[in-house]
A and B are shown apart, each in its own frame.
Chain A
Amino acid sequence: MTLHNVKIERCDSLPPRWSMSLPKSCLLLISVLPVTAWAQSTADLQAKVTALEAATRSAQSAGDNAWMLVSAALVLMMTGPGLALFYGGLVRRKNVLGTMMQSFILMAAITVLWAVVGYSLAFADGTPFLGGLRYGLLNGVGSAPNPDYAGTIPHQTFMVYQLMFAIITPALISGAFAERMKFSAMLLFMVLWAFFVYFPMAHMVWGKGGFLNAAPGGKVPCLDFAGGTVVHITSGVSALVTALYLGKRLGYPREPMKPHNLVISFIGACLLWVGWFGFNAGSALGASSLATSAFVATHFAAAAAALGWVLAEWIGSGKPSVLGGISGCVAGLVAITPASGFVKPFPALLIGFLAGIVCYLMVAKVKQNLGYDDSLDAFGVHGCGGTLGAILTGVFATSAVNGAYQDAAGKTLPLGLVDGHGAQIWNQLTGCAIAWGIAIAGTLIILKICDALIGLRLTELEEIEGMDVSLHGEEGYILEA
């Protein structure tokens, strides 16, 4: 667009300069004719340029919109089937459907919530902590772009893309209370959680004028490209709180609770890996070179993290396992999420590798020693990996990748420690602290409410029978049928 503005300026400024340079002795007739012709051709040219400009804008919008719609679909694919399969395979056979249903029902429930009021609370103008009701019932969310967020794609595309994030975030928590929570209590918990934790946090980090927004208008600019704080810290920390509040599964850790089907977990994790390109590269909100950069960083971090976890496990327990490999790639994807649009490929490898090792130690050593039952390691991977990623974003973010910070004159300012802006780490820590705080307080209050209203846990008999039969009246595997 800038390029075309420049062209127009030149066209406008040509005729006067030209006429001044004409010799004074020119005949009136000779001079008038070309000027008239010139005026006509200028008008033609201007019309052409205007048309060209509109065509270019429409082409860019088409390109950006195509990528963003694909990204939205990819992020939905992360929840179902990705996360549903990943978690479904990690539980015992009697709970496979109940676990998958927790992810699936959120695809439906959060969508309705988002349309009615959720999108507005997260992205409409409001206080620094929560959006207003301007976009309630998706009022005014149509095909015209919203330049506050994404100037080249329909506002509706932005809305539906953000919806997919709101779906997967609560779904991640379900890994912590797997195999023991009532379906009704889970639904109520998730709806309240979206209101008390997700919408405020999304508004603070991404909403216009949000408290932590790195774009102008935020008091404490926290760099979070694709949702390290909003998605992974909030869900991971809430997961820990629910695991502690609900208590251990019956028989944990005495009885064996092996993953019943690592094959479907494997498929799920690989779908998550692919879907994450929509999550991170899509967060560029256009088919830009920044999207490519985020795509590369995402992939590199996942690869390095898979290696990191497998190596640590090989040394720690003797064998490189498939579950270790797929857990590692997810840990790396979590950690690179806030950094993906700010870091170069090699720091991405490093962030991933560290995440693989740290999350392995958290899950295999720290959790085992502390004894809490975060059943599918939602905290160990998302809470821990998310916090690590958020802090490392403050270290490795560079203006060479993303000119997020600019001064009044439009000059690009340094981003992270590698650019010489060490203070960014404090901003990142503040963002983490707020995300942890909201997640802990919000989740505790919500759990109390749900507990008082309907009770959280399955009865002992239901838990022994399994969620599939006791909650849903069906079985995942009927091999003799």
Chain B
Amino acid sequence: MKKIEAVIQPFKLDDVKEALMGIGVDGMTISEVRGHGRQKGHKEVYRGREYTVDLLPKVKIELVVSDDRCEDVLKALTAAARTGKIGDGKIFVYDVAEAIRIRNDDRGDAAL
């Protein structure tokens, strides 16, 4: 099992969700986060006082998939989230030791 953690542009969330559901992914967790990578923030000016806003709003998607589906999911996700500009975000993939469905004790791929 792999955990896929993708930080994407907030306005791309709907496209990504649709793409993932299109290839049969049923579950994901979304959080609103702030951060930056190479994309530097922007400048705001209030009555002459300048503020540099370098932590920008992003959306983080977390989902766990079976090993054999991982590559397809990554392709769909990347294609849907890409604009080609700096600030599109990043995807990290981790190995997952175990998954348990709380309702009925299903374990491993059966729990996904």
Contact = CB atoms under 8 A, between A and B. Distances in A.
B46 interface: yes
B15 to A, nearest CB: 27
Contacts of A360: 48
B73 to A, nearest CB: 32
Contact of A363 (B48, B50, B51): B48
A36 interface: no
A412 interface: no
A297 B64 CA distance: 67
A7 interface: no
Interface in B41-97: 44-51
Contacts of B47: 323-324, 327, 363-364, 377
A317 interface: yes
A258 B45 contact: no
B45 A253 contact: no
A48 interface: no
A256 interface: yes
Give the size range of A's interface with the partner: 20 to 34
The residue among B44, B47, B49 with the most chain A CB atoms within 10 A of its own CB is B47
Contacts of A367: 48
A319 B51 contact: no
A253 B49 contact: yes
A327 B46 CA distance: 11
Contacts of A363: 47-48
Contacts of A319: 45
Contacts of B51: 256, 258
A258 B48 contact: no
B54 to A, nearest CB: 11
Interface in A231-281: 253, 256-259
Nearest to A365: B48
A73 to B, nearest CB: 31
Interface in B1-60: 44-51
A198 B46 CA distance: 31
Contacts of A364: 47-49
A321 B47 CA distance: 9
A383 to B, nearest CB: 15
A358 to B, nearest CB: 14
A56 interface: no
Interface of B: 44-51
Closest 8 CB pairs of A and B: A364-B48, A317-B45, A363-B47, A256-B51, A368-B48, A364-B47, A323-B46, A258-B46
15 contacts: A253-B49, A258-B46, A313-B45, A316-B48, A317-B50, A318-B45, A323-B47, A324-B47, A360-B48, A363-B47, A363-B48, A364-B47, A364-B49, A367-B48, A377-B47
Given A364-B49, A368-B48, A368-B49, 17 more contacts: A253-B49, A258-B51, A259-B46, A313-B45, A316-B48, A317-B45, A317-B50, A318-B45, A319-B45, A321-B45, A323-B46, A360-B48, A363-B48, A364-B47, A364-B48, A365-B48, A377-B47
